[in-house]
A and B are shown apart, each in its own frame.
Chain A
């Protein structure tokens, strides 16, 4: 599979648009369809595609497993952290209204930050699942 010409050419064309699209879906999630789940999966798809092309070793140089093991709980930490900040500001857990000067801005900040956490956890989980299966030796 490593020298499959179709895969190599297609991957080279698709890699950059995929990552860019993931970024668009992530940031546009406040105004339209999108968000951390979808963007995370798209970004992970780009990395997995690259991994299919170059093999597990090179892709793990770019996105090492150790990084994933930090990002997965890190995303949850961001999510819970935003909730706790809302609590410290005098609201309930996950109350975004008090994160900024008024409720609308607060909601926007809250959703934005939480979606970053979601993106981190989802994308790194997907990649970690790929690594876990691809890294198994065939018996």
Chain B
């Protein structure tokens, strides 16, 4: 159990994030769940990159064992991707709030259902 602590933490984050995405109707909460889900991937990559007894991967006198630097580089990229996704998602939520007046998914569906047959909606360009 203790030996697999990091894997258990990773899987917990993964499943918890996915659950929030699916179970919540609030669009901001969904994005929080999505971020949680993504952060589990960061752990998945980073944890095995640590070499026991290894130091930071910078060549220096007196060190022979280094941590694997590649996962860090990969995850830096993944974090940037995650930030971009989150920012874009939040932007969409702001625009949805302006267009619909709500960010609850079921309320939006309720507002849209009777309208779908009567031509285009109010237009999303409230900006």
Contact = CB atoms under 8 A, between A and B. Distances in A.
Interface of A: 31-33, 37, 122, 129, 132-133, 136, 139
B65 to A, nearest CB: 18
Interface of B: 56, 58, 76, 80, 87, 90-91, 94, 97-98, 101
9 contacts: A31-B58, A33-B58, A37-B80, A132-B91, A133-B90, A133-B94, A136-B98, A139-B97, A139-B101
Task: State the main secondary structure of chain B at its contact with A.
Answer: helix
A32 B115 CA distance: 59
A139 B95 CA distance: 11
Given A129-B87, A133-B91, A139-B97, 14 more contacts: A31-B58, A32-B58, A33-B56, A33-B58, A37-B76, A37-B80, A122-B80, A132-B91, A133-B90, A133-B94, A136-B94, A136-B98, A139-B98, A139-B101
A106 B94 CA distance: 46
B69 to A, nearest CB: 11
Contacts of A129: 87
Contacts of B91: 132-133
Nearest to A38: B76
A122 B97 CA distance: 27
Contacts of B58: 31-33
Nearest to B77: A37
A38 B12 CA distance: 28
Nearest to B84: A125
A68 B55 CA distance: 38
Contacts of A136: 94, 98
Contacts of A31: 58
A32 B76 CA distance: 16
A133 B58 CA distance: 39
Nearest to B76: A37
A26 to B, nearest CB: 15
Contacts of B98: 136, 139
